[in-house]
Amino acid sequence: MSNVPTPHNGAKEGEIAKTVLMPGDPLRAKFIAETYLTDAVCFNTVRNMLGYTGMYHGKRVSVMGGGMGIPSVGIYTYELFNFYGVENIIRIGSAGGIADNVHVRDVVIGMGACTNSNYAAQYNLPGTFAPVASYDLLKGAAAAAEKLNVHAVVGNVLSSDTFYDDNADALSAWKKMGVLAVEMEAAALYMNAARAGKNALCLLTISDCPFTGESLSAQERQTGFTQMMEIAPAIA
């Protein structure tokens, strides 16, 4: 890459680590940097999408917000993979649990990502692409969760383009196909990683369950998300 920042990222060459942890909320990126990294330095403030690089147990790690939805995360992860030499992106976010065996505070490890987005159309494939996680990151996350005594469920998630869906039965249709939870970014992350020949994983904390009415308060979300944030740096 050249030493010129992209329109969305002010980092210079070498300022971003090979592994990036990516929450949606840039303020959560700041929290992660201040809580889990040492010697953290801010490399991006463009559009307030904060990004930091620091050390975690002797490993150089970056953390950066990715925004909400496939278009936003699609831009940031594309640039990280293709312009900044990033090799691994681990999304750490929230999700709504829709499977019967998924409850609030559970961590879901996204093995695959279904989607109602048309993001894959750009690749002009002669069929339907199945966005999946990188196995080494997936295996590491499952092992880290077990070591940390965190209840984690591995399986398929839904990356939805719509937060407020006009079809009231949409989630029921995905549930009957064994989808564990609904979020809004993993599919684009997995497709960008596949196209770039890089690695990606999505870790999700269940913040609510639409079918049962279970939901965490803002304070409970902060506590629950801590478990997920301990898994992610452990495999960085």
Locate 1 and state its tokens.
């890459």
Name the nearest CA neighbour of 187 among 25, 77, 64, 86: 77
Locate 25 and state its tokens.
């909320």
Tell me the C-alpha distance between 81 and 89, whole Å.
8
SS3 93: strand
Q: Is the dihedral of CA 222, 24, 142, 19 positive or negative?
A: negative
Active site residues: 208
User: Residue with structure tokens 């339907």?
Assistant: 128
